[in-house]
Amino acid sequence: MEPEFWQEKWDAGQIGFHSDDVHTDLHDYVDAWLAGGPHQILVPLCGKSVDLAWLAAKGHEVIGIELAKKAVIALFNDAGLTPTWTDVPGAERAQAGNLTVYCGNLFDISPATIGPITRVWDRAAFIALHPSQRASYVARLRACLAPKGKLLMNVLNYDPAVMDGPPWAVDGSIVAQHYPEAIQLGTRDALDDRWKSRGHERVEAVTWQADVKSDA
Ligand SMILES: C[S@@+](CC[C@H](N)C(=O)[O-])C[C@H]1O[C@@H](n2cnc3c(N)ncnc32)[C@H](O)[C@@H]1O
């Protein structure tokens, strides 16, 4: 999607994707995924997710990327932190302690700026991007990831005939196309009244892990 699409969503307060709670599937898989830390964790397209401060409080270095400045300001505010803002190529960087968010377009920020990353938490990022952006997005994540880096990704899968994204329906064949090394960790029924009102009869939240080689 174009940046304007998301800026308008934030400006209009249409952020139904946001949750005030740490993501339920992150809770379930975090211990195994973060074994051997501390880690440098990238959260692409992070919105104002509370997952970042939660992961940072566990002692990891957490790096978010988000287009909307309103979201970045709210993220630090909600965490009770006052960030220092610095201009970097392609973005503004907000930093407080071990929590950093690059405010800008992910496609304009060099992987060298983001630095080596050992873990990626993709929640509502891959599924938010237009299918035509996926290959470029995954290439950027791979370029950021150090050898033995691990991706944890939560996607939604539903009948794509019911609606177009975002969020886009992502089934196992799409995941395998972009992350051939991915394994499915679990599936959860995510059909709620909001989805039903859009005409859906089946919505699943599926969590994947990929042990990503940086040179793949
Ligand atoms: C569906 S929301 C998910 C936000 C967050 N991951 C969460 O779970 O609450 C997608 C977010 O990605 C941001 N975004 C979309 N395209 C982006 C891009 N190219 N670069 C950086 N951020 C982007 C949007 O502003 C929006 O906040």
Cβ atoms of 86 and 92 within 8 Å: the answer is: yes
Cβ atoms of 10 and 70 within 8 Å: the answer is: yes
Q: Whose CA is nearest to atom 27 of ligand 1?
A: 47
Q: Tally the C-alpha atoms within 13 A of residue 2's C-alpha that lie toward its C-beta.
A: 3
Q: Whose CA is nearest to atom 14 of ligand 1?
A: 45
**β-bridge partners, 209:** 152, 183
Residue by residue, pLDDT tens for the chain (216 residues) are: 788 999 999 999 999 999 999 999 999 999 999 999 899 999 999 999 999 999 999 999 999 999 999 999 999 999 999 999 999 999 999 999 999 999 999 999 999 999 889 999 999 999 999 999 999 999 999 999 988 899 999 999 999 999 988 999 999 999 999 999 999 999 999 999 989 998 999 999 999 999 986 554
Domains belonging to the chain, first-starting first, are 3-13+20-212 (3.40.50.150)
Type of residue found at 23: H
The H helix count followed by the E strand count for the chain is 8, 9
- The ligand 1 atom at the shortest distance from the C-alpha of residue 45 is 12
User: For the chain, how long is the longest CA-to-CA vector?
Assistant: 46
26 Cβ below 6 A of ligand 1: no
CA angle 32, 172, 27 (to 5 degrees): 25
- 133: helix, strand or coil: helix
β-bridge pairing 84-88 and 99-103: unpaired
- Whole-prediction pTM: 0.97
128 Cβ below 6 A of ligand 1: yes
66 Cβ below 6 A of ligand 1: yes
Tokens of 126: 């891959």
Cβ atoms of 125 and 139 within 8 Å: the answer is: no
